[in-house]
Amino acid sequence: MSASPQPAILYFTNPGKILAKKIAGIVEGSVVNCSSGTVDARQIVGDLFAAKRPIVGICATGILVRLLAEKLQNKYEDPPVLCVSANEKFVIPLLGGHRGANRMAILIADNIGADVAITTASEGRFDFALDAPPKGYVLAQSDAVKSAMAALLNGEKIDVSGSDQWLIEAGYPVAGDGKIKIHVSEYISPVASGDTIVYRPKTLVVGVGCARFTTRDEIVHLIEKALEKAHLSPKSICALASIDIKSDEAGLHAAAACFGVPLRLFPAESLAAIADRVPNPSSVVEAETGTASVAEAAALLAGNLIVPKQKTDNATCAIGKSDLPIDPDCFGEGTGQLHLVGIGPGEKQQRTQSASLALTNATDWVGYSLYLDLVDDMHDRQILHSFDLGDEEPRVRFALELAAKGKNVALICSGDAQIYAMAALVFELLDVEGKRAVSPSAKRLFVESHPGISALQMASARAGALLGHDFCTISLSDLLTPRPDIEKRLHAAATGDFVTAFYNPRSKKRTELIKVAKQIFLLHRPLDTPVVIATNLGREGETVQVVTLEDFDPTQIDMLTIVLFGSSNSKSFLRGDGRTIAYTPRGYANKTSEKK
C-alpha cells in the first residue's frame, strides 16, 4: 500500500524531546533530534521539506521560518509545517494548511489540551477546505476549487449532486439553486461543466479470489476491466478484500499497492455466513476454502453487490458498495508482516533507507537487547520485545507469531540479516514441519528483507579495500557448526587464496580456532599478508588496525571483533595521514601491461 509520508516531529532542546515523543504517538510520526551543536538542523529540515514529509517543530515559529525561507516556492506543493510551543499551550500551522496542516493542528491540540491558531480563511468558517476533504473522500477534479472558495467567502452557495450531508455538517451552505457545482459519486460520468468540483467517496470494496501464485498484473487487469465496465472510479476503492488464507499471496499485496489501498482479510466462517446473499456460489471453492464464495462474499461485506463475479483463468473479482465511506482500519483484518531488518554495524548513517523505513513503520520491534539499543534514536511509539543473546529461536518464533496476529513486526539484526543472523532461521521455521513448526497463520505471513551493511564490508571499507577481489566468510563458532567442518573450510579458503573474513572469531570459551586459522593460512600466505582487525564497528570505542599475518595476535580478539585475512596478492601501505591502508588489487596492472 502506498502510505502518506510520515510526519517528522522535531525537537531543538532536550526538554522538547518529551513533547515530541507525545506528539509522535498522536500523529504516528517519528522523532527527529535537531539540537544545536549535534546535527545540521538546516540540512535536516530542508531534506524533510524536500521529501514532502509533514514537519512539526517543538520550537518558536521563527526557527522554522528561517530554516525554510529559501525552500518556499509554491504553496500548492508545500507539505504541512507546524509549530508547537514548548509549554504545550499553542499549535500553529505555518504552511500547507489545506494539505493537512490544519487538520493535524486540530488533532494535536485536542490531544494535548492546547489552543490552535488557524489563519486560513476557509477553516475560519468551515471544518475543512474544499481542496482538503475529510477522510473517506477524494478530490478528483479540482480546477474550480480556488474560485469556488473565493465565491463561498463572498456569500455564494453550493449545489450538490450526490451525498451532501458531510458538506452540510462542515458548515457549507448547500442549496438547490447554488452557483457552485459539486458532484459526489463513485461513478464516472460527464458533469455539467468544467467548473464542477468532483469528489469520489471511498465506498467501494473489491473482493478478490485467486489461485496460488496469480500475478499482480492478472489481478490488476481484471479489476480495471470490472471498474471500466461498470463506469466506476478506482479512486472510490477503499480496500481489496479476500479470505485470510491468502495473506501471503504476493500478487494480492502487489495489486492492493497498485491501487494505493490496503488488503483486508476475512476468515472462511465470516464469508460463509452470508452464503444466502451470494449470487454465484461455487462448490469447488467451498471444498477448498470452507466457503462457497470469496470474491462476491468479501464484496458483499461492504453492503450491496454492484458488480457480480468477474473471472480470468486464475482470478475472480466482485465489487461491493457501502452507502457511506468505509474506514478500512475497521473492515476485516489487516495482514501481518515480518520485516527482517539489517541495521548495519551500529551507526545510524550506515543504515539503508529501506531498513529505516521498515523500523519507522513497524508496530513492534523484536531483537537482542543490544541491537534495540543501537536504534534507540528511531524509537518512539513501537513496542519493544527484548531477548537475550543465545535466545535466537525463541526470538524468531515470537516475531513470527506476533506478526501472525496482524502486527507489523521488525526483527532487528546487526549488520545484514542474511549473514550469520536471523533471516535463515526465519525461513527455516517457515519451512519446517512437526514439533518445531510455527502456526498456519505464521506460515502465511508476508515477509520482506531489508539488507544492511555487513561487518565485513564495513571493516574492509574502514581499512581500505581488502575485499577488492574474491573473498569468503567463515564463522569460527563451533556451537552450531562441527569443528571438523570449520577446519575443512579453513583449508579450502587458504588453498583457494581467498580474502577471508572471520565471524565469531573468539569468545571466553572458544579460543583455539582463530589460532588454528592463523597456522593454516601461514602455510599458504606471505608473512606480510595484511590482516584487518576491526572492533566495535560503528559503535563507541571503535578500533581498526592493519597488521601483518606474522604479527597477528589471536589472543587480542573478542566476540565484538571481525578479522579479515588478505590473499597472497593483498597489499598494505602507509599514507601521509598515518593510516595503514590494506587492499587487494583486481589485476588491472596486468590488463594495462597487456595493452602496451
Tell me what pLDDT residue 51 has: 85
423 and 413 in contact (C-beta within 8 Å)? yes
- Both 352 and 266 in one domain: the answer is no
Tell me what pLDDT residue 52 has: 87
Question: Bridge partners of 464?
Answer: 582
244 and 267 in contact (C-beta within 8 Å)? yes
- Both 496 and 538 in one domain: the answer is yes
Assign residue 390 a region (left: φ > 0; alpha: ψ between -120 and 50; beta: otherwise).
left
Query: What parts of the chain have a pLDDT lower than 70?
Result: 1-4, 36-39, 76, 98, 120-125, 142, 191-194, 591-596
Helical H segments across 302-343, by residue range: none
Q: Is residue 596 a part of any domain in this protein?
A: no
Which residue, among 227, 228, 151, 205, has the nearest Cα to 182 in the 3D structure? 151
- Both 350 and 306 in one domain: the answer is no
- Both 470 and 564 in one domain: the answer is yes
Which of 59, 91, 119 is the last residue before a domain boundary? 119
138 and 202 in contact (C-beta within 8 Å)? yes
- Both 376 and 470 in one domain: the answer is no
Full strand arrangement of the beta sheet holding 180-184: 137-141, 197-201, 180-184, 158-161
Residue in the structure block whose three cell numbers are 454492484 = 306
- Both 581 and 474 in one domain: the answer is yes
Question: Bridge partners of 310?
Answer: 317
Tell me what pLDDT residue 1 has: 38
- Both 193 and 237 in one domain: the answer is no
Q: Is residue 595 a part of any domain in this protein?
A: no
Q: How many domains does the chain have?
A: 5
- Both 220 and 314 in one domain: the answer is yes
503 and 473 in contact (C-beta within 8 Å)? yes
Q: Is residue 132 a part of any domain in this protein?
A: no
Cα dist from 304 to 35, 54, 79, 232, 320, whole Å? 54, 37, 38, 14, 5
CATH number at residue 236: 3.30.420.180
- Both 367 and 436 in one domain: the answer is yes
Q: Is residue 127 a part of any domain in this protein?
A: no
Could you list the residue range(s) of the whole structural domain that residue 163 is in?
137-201
Q: Is residue 351 a part of any domain in this protein?
A: yes
Q: Is residue 126 a part of any domain in this protein?
A: no
CATH number at residue 63: 3.40.50.11220
Q: Is residue 305 a part of any domain in this protein?
A: yes
- Both 282 and 350 in one domain: the answer is no
Q: Which residues contact 153 (CB under 8 A, 6 or more apart)?
A: 121, 122, 125
Q: Is residue 540 a part of any domain in this protein?
A: yes
Question: Bridge partners of 201?
Answer: 137
CATH number at residue 512: 3.30.950.10
- Both 163 and 215 in one domain: the answer is no
Tell me what pLDDT residue 490 has: 98
Which of 176, 201, 226 is the last residue before a domain boundary? 201
- Both 422 and 466 in one domain: the answer is no
Which of 201, 219, 253 is the last residue before a domain boundary? 201
pLDDT, tens digit (0-9, with 9 covering 90-100), for 543-580: 999 999 999 999 999 888 999 999 999 999 999 998 99
88 and 112 in contact (C-beta within 8 Å)? yes
- Give the CB-side neighbour count of residue 310, counting CA atoms within 13 A: 24
CATH number at residue 435: 3.40.1010.10
Tell me what pLDDT residue 132 has: 78
Collapsing DSSP states into helix, strand and coil, what is residue 401? helix
